[in-house]
Each structure stands twice: as C-alpha cells, then as structure tokens.
Chains A and B, each alone.
Chain A
Amino acid sequence: MRRFFSNRRLVIIIVCIIVCIALMNLSVVIRNKRSTPPLIQQFGNDIVGFTDRIVALPVNGLQGTSEAISGLLNTYQENQKLKGQVETLTQTQVRDETLSKENKQLKKELKLNSSLTDYSAVTAAVISRTPSSWQNQVIINKGQASGIKKNMPVLSGAGLVGRISEVNKTNSKVELISDSNDSSNRFAIQVTNKSGQTVNGVINEYDKATNRIVMGNVTSKKKLEKGDKVITSGLGGVTPKGLYVGKVISAGNDDYGLASKVVIKPAGDLSNLSVVTVAVSTN
C-alpha cells in the first residue's frame, strides 16, 4: 500500500481528480449558459454522428422489421376501429382548413405577421440513445442546418416528449421529459375546461412510476375535470402555442393543501421513439 501511494503517483492521482471535476463543472456550465457547444465539440459530434448512422441503420432496421411483423398481427382490429375515426377526421380536417384560412385573412387585416401559434415541423429520426442510468437522452439526426435551436420542444406521435438540450450542425440531443434534470420538463402549459376557461401553469414534475405529468402550484380556482385537454401556452421562450400535451387525469389539492395539483396523462409515447418532430418556431 505504501509503495502504491508513492509521492509522484499520489500527486498524479490528485491532479487527475481535480482536472476531472473541473472539466465536469465546466461542461455543465457551458451546457446551461451557451446555446451551442464549442465549435470543436460540434465538429467532433458531427463526425461521430455521421459514422453512427452506418451502425445504427441496420440495427434500427431490424427493429422496424420486428415491429412490422407484430403490427401485422393486429391489423384487422385496428383497421375496423380506424375506419370509424377516418370519417370524423375528414370533417375536422375540412373545418380546420377553412378556419386556418380565415385566421390568415384576419391576421393580415390586423397586420400581424406571426403569432405564437406559428411553427414549422421538422421531422427527425432517432439515431441512438445515451447508455446511462441518469440521463434519458436520445440523439436525433437533424441539427442547426435544419433550423433547430436549443430548448425547442420535441414531439413524438401525438404529444410532447422532450426538449432539445444540445445542437450540433447535423445532429442534436433531446432530453426526454422523464429525465431527472430539472430543466428538462419545465414547459408552460394551459388547460382548457369544458366551459372554455383556461388555467395556466408550468409542468414541474414527471412521475416515472406512473408515467404522468404533474402541473403543480396552481392557484386558480377554476374547476378542472378529467379529460380536459392540455396544450402548451407559448408563454416565455421558444415553445410555440398549441402543442398537444395530454389530458387531465385528476385535479386536487397538493400535499400541503394550499395550491392545487393537476395530474396529466401525456399523449406522447416515450417508450417508442424512432421518429420525432421538432417544433421550430418561425418568429
């Protein structure tokens, strides 16, 4: 033991530990403060991301095939169910088209060029996932070149699943809302109840055990019910308004009985991420 901790070796070990902690803290600071990582890091990540696609393509292809086979088995039942939905969908679509046209005209009259609801959707494929116990983070194949910026919201299927945490030129990292990092799921959302009243708030917890989003510290006395729809409110930052988040499961007092707490069932499917959509706000 004495030989192992000789003077020189001890100094080297201590220097290594100090450098290690310094580097870690530096990268966390850079991650929090800057909108893009340093150029060298971006460049390196772009090259690594490019080579990753060569390996990821066959592996993800394998996943696609197995999913296709299992999908085939319950196609018939799904088809029956979907047929019914299609008819109502067409009606909604036509109405949606007329409304958006009318909206555009009204905006023009008001000389309003872009509002909070304007965004373009960028579709990206998930290349790989961080092998880590503490970070729920996936890497997607679109970056700055496609107009993606840090903190933009990411959707999968029907609803919100996370936000962009690091952008390189051709790939970026997405922190899922289930991540234990506090900033990963702070989205400004609003709930509209049956009588048309809205309640604003911020997501402040993701309950991993039950897969529920929790909106806490709500002081509004407006009555919310199970099934009320939750969307992003577009307040404060780069998240556009009107992204679907989920439905209210329950609303009640929080643990201290002062404010109320709304539990939301997320619409996005966190367990099956192969293609995601990034909402790039245009204003």
Chain B
Amino acid sequence: MLRLSKLRYGFPIGLLLFFFLDGSISQVFSNQMFNYPYTMVSYLVVLWLVLANFFENQISIPLVPWAIAIGVIFDLYYTGIFGVFIFIFPLVILLTRALSRALPNTFLVNFLIYFIDITMVSGLSYLANSTIHLTSLTSSEFLIYSLAPTLAYNLAMFVILYFPIQALFNRLR
C-alpha cells in the first residue's frame, strides 16, 4: 500500500531530484558530455522510474501518471518542445512492466531491460526531433555519435546506482 509507506514522499522527491540532476550534470560536465561529435545524454530520471518499477514489489506506485507528469515538465522546462517525452516516459514504464513480467527479477536481467529502455528513449526522441527538423543527423550518425555514448553513460549510472537505490527503496518501504 503506497498510502502507508514512506515512499509516498520519497518517490516524488527522488524523481524531482534526478530530473534536476540531469540538467545540472549536463551543465557541469558539458565539456566531457558534449564533446563534438559525441553527445552523451543523461537520463537519470528514466533510471529512477525504471528502478521504481523493479523495486516497488507489493507497493504499487502509480508510475504511468508520474511518468506523464515528469514528461510534461521535461518537455516544457528543458527542451521547450511539447509532446515528446510526455509520451516516451510512460511508454518506457509500459515496456519495462511487460518485460519484467516475463523475465526473472535479477540484476543482469534488469540491466538488459534498462539497455532496451534507453535505446527506445534515445531512438524515439531522435525520431521525434527529426520529424520536426530539429536535427540533421542521419540514422547511422545517430547510432555512432549519440546512441552509443548515451548508452555507455546511462548503463554505467545504472550499475553505480542500482544497489544504493535498492537499499533506499527497502528502507523507505
């Protein structure tokens, strides 16, 4: 029951914290992350949503509404283009749920699920941005210069933060 758990406060605070960390990390490490031609995009907010899905167990957090809410804020505050992440974030939750229902809940499997999630987020965001001509990257350039570094960064973050966040969820439960 979410109503009786400390996650009722902990989850939204963590979500907002990771959301703002995305922007701050991109700003502080902009030299390393946006080193032409490679671009690493930080999706810590996706990490928090996906890990919440893995660790929620019996407490069912309404993840899809939260994903839509944070998607709206992401669109308006960071990119200024409405209608991209508002659909991508809930889609990630649905995909993660479908996959984790069919697969065992272990670290390695979750790692692979997160790999698919980040590929989808990056790919769909590329697709959306190329339909409105905000990017001139070709799809092969996208794979090498954007997707590969983004995956490397986000999977590293996943490995670093997986067990600390698991401990946090166990404590807040």
> How many Å from the CB of A84 to the closest CB on chain B?
29
Return the contact of B78 from the options A19, A62, A126, A131 (Cβ within 8 A). A131
CA distance A22 to B81 in the complex (A): 11
Contacts of B134 in A (CB 8 A): 134-135, 180-181
B27 touches A24 (CB 8 A): no
Contact A25 B132 (CB under 8 A): yes
- Residues A27 and B23 in contact, CB atoms below 8 Å apart: no
Question: Do residues A131 and B128 form an inter-chain contact, with CB atoms below 8 A?
Answer: no
* A-side contacts of B137, CB under 8 Å: 133-134
Known A134-B129, A180-B135; judge A52-B27 contact (CB<8 A). no
Task: Decide if A273 is an interface residue (CB 8 Å cutoff).
Answer: yes
By a CB distance below 8 angstroms, the chain B residues around A165 are 80
Interface of B is mostly: helix
Stretch in B32-40, B56-64, B103-111, B156-164 with 4+ CB within 8 Å of A:
B32-40
Complex Cα distance, B134 from A22, in Å, reads: 15
Pair B135/A129 contact, Cβ less than 8 Å: no
Whether A99 is near chain B, meaning CB under 8 Å from some CB there, is no
Asked if B76 contacts A128 (CB within 8 A), the reply is no
- Specify which of A27, A41, A48, A132 lies most central, judged by the most chain B CB atoms within 10 Å of its CB: A132
Interface residues as binary, B20-42 with A (CB distance below 8 Å gives 1, 0 otherwise): 11111111101100101101011
CB pair B83–A19 under 8 Å, yes or no, is yes
A-B contact count (CB 8 A): 139
> Nearest CB to that of B43 among chain A residues?
A131
In the complex the two chains form, what is the Cα distance from A209 to B35 in whole Å?
10
Query: Residues 33-63 of chain A: 1 if any B CB is under 8 Å from the residue's CB, otherwise 0?
Result: 0000100010011001101100110011011
With an 8 A cutoff between CB atoms, is B168 at the interface? no
B83→A31 contact, CB < 8 A = no
A56 contacts B20, CB within 8 Å?
yes
The total of chain A residues at the interface (CB under 8 A) is 50
User: A31, A131, A181: which contacts B22 (Cβ < 8 A)?
Assistant: A131
- B-side contacts of A180, CB under 8 Å: 134-136
> How close is B124's CB to chain A, nearest CB, in angstroms?
10
Are B81 and A129 neighbours in the complex by a CB distance under 8 Å?
A: no
| A209, B150: Cβ atoms closer than 8 Å | no
A60 touches B76 (CB 8 A): no
Q: How far is the CB of A180 from chain B (nearest CB, A)?
A: 6
Give the residue of A22, A26, A126 whose beta carbon is less than 8 angstroms from that of B27. A126
Partner of A31, one of B36, B42, B43, B81: B81
Query: Chain A residue with minimal CB distance to B42?
Result: A131
A128 touching B83 in the complex, CB below 8 Å, given contacts A24-B128, A28-B132:
no
The reply on A139 being an interface residue by CB < 8 A is yes
Q: Which of B43, B73, B129 contacts A44 (CB 8 A)?
A: B73
- Report 10 cross-chain contacts, Cβ distance below 8 Å, ordered by A residue: A16-B87, A20-B84, A24-B128, A44-B76, A56-B20, A56-B27, A134-B126, A139-B77, A208-B36, A209-B36
B-contacting residues of A (Cβ < 8 Å)?
16, 19-28, 31, 37, 41, 44-45, 48-49, 51-52, 55-56, 59-60, 62-63, 126-139, 165-166, 173, 180-181, 208-209, 271-273
* Chain B interface residues (CB < 8 Å from chain A): 16-17, 20-28, 30-31, 34, 36-37, 39, 41-43, 73, 75-84, 86-87, 122, 125-126, 128-129, 131-132, 134-137, 142, 145-146, 150
